[in-house]
Amino acid sequence: MFSLQVTMLIALLSAAAFAQAAPAVDDTTLFSAEGYRQAYYRSPTPEAVEGARTLTTAALQAQLARDPRTALIDVYRRQWLFGQFIEDEPHANLPGSVWLANTGDGHLQAPWAAYFRDNLERLSQGDLQWPLVFYCRSDCWLGWNAVKRAHAMGYTNLYWYRDGVDAWEQAGLPLQPATPEPMRDAGQTAVRHAPPISQQ
């Protein structure tokens, strides 16, 4: 009996210590007031995002065959320091993609917001009904955020390739070495340093 009581006491103390060491993360920490995911980007995602259709690999291939104009937009992160992207790790994406690095973050400072806006306008040729596909990797909220942001800007023909690069590669389809789209006239603009997504 005494041994059982000791075991239960140890279990209770361990649970209390864990609760203090790992406090719960509430929705106000995970999401901004505007509804963008702003922490723990590499974690399970919902099956859909408002304003867009979620695509499987087969559905994406069908979309590309049906409408070759479709723009593929990779929003995976890349470190930015002293006015330039820093290649901290190799990255590959779907052939024909445009890599708008760091535009899936929960909050975009003005230079990144302009980078996202201007490139979408260029890719869509100013047509809000132009088909745009956003993606990152599997269990990655960056694509979800980017779709939500494009929807808020008025784009109406949006797709989310939910499992992104990982699903494409697992299907045995080719990838291409990727370089982020240049940030025009960025100079030494003081924008937030973006750590590798593996640290999020």
Whether the pLDDT of residue 11 is over 70: the answer is: no
Q: Which residue has the higher pLDDT, 144 or 184?
A: 144
26-199 adopts what CATH topology? Oxidized Rhodanese; domain 1 (3.40.250)
Q: Which residues contact 124 (CB under 8 A, 6 or more apart)?
A: 71, 130, 132, 155
Q: What is the pLDDT of residue 2?
A: 42
Q: What is the pLDDT of residue 191?
A: 44
Q: Under a CB-based contact definition with an 8 Å cutoff, are residues 76 and 165 in contact?
A: yes
Q: What is the pLDDT of residues 35-55, one digit of tens each?
A: 999 999 999 999 999 999 999
Whether the pLDDT of residue 200 is over 90: the answer is: no
Q: Which of 110, 113, 102, 106 is nearest to 80 (CA)?
A: 102
CA dihedral 142, 148, 149, 151 (to 10 degrees): 150
Cα–Cα distance list, 90 to 40, 51, 87, 110 (Å): 22, 32, 7, 27
The pLDDT of 114-136, averaged and rounded, is 98
Residue type for position 39: A
Q: What is the pLDDT of residue 141?
A: 98
Q: Under a CB-based contact definition with an 8 Å cutoff, are residues 184 and 116 in contact?
A: no
Give, for 5, the enclosing helix (H) or strand (E).
helix 2-21
β-pairing, 84-86 vs 79-81, is antiparallel
Q: What is the pLDDT of residue 184?
A: 79
Q: What is the pLDDT of residue 56?
A: 98
On whether the pTM is more than 0.75, the answer is: yes
Q: Which of 25, 193, 9 is nearest to 109 (CA)?
A: 193
Of the chain, the percentage scoring pLDDT greater than 70 comes to 78
The pLDDT of 3-13, averaged and rounded, is 41
Average pLDDT, the chain: 85
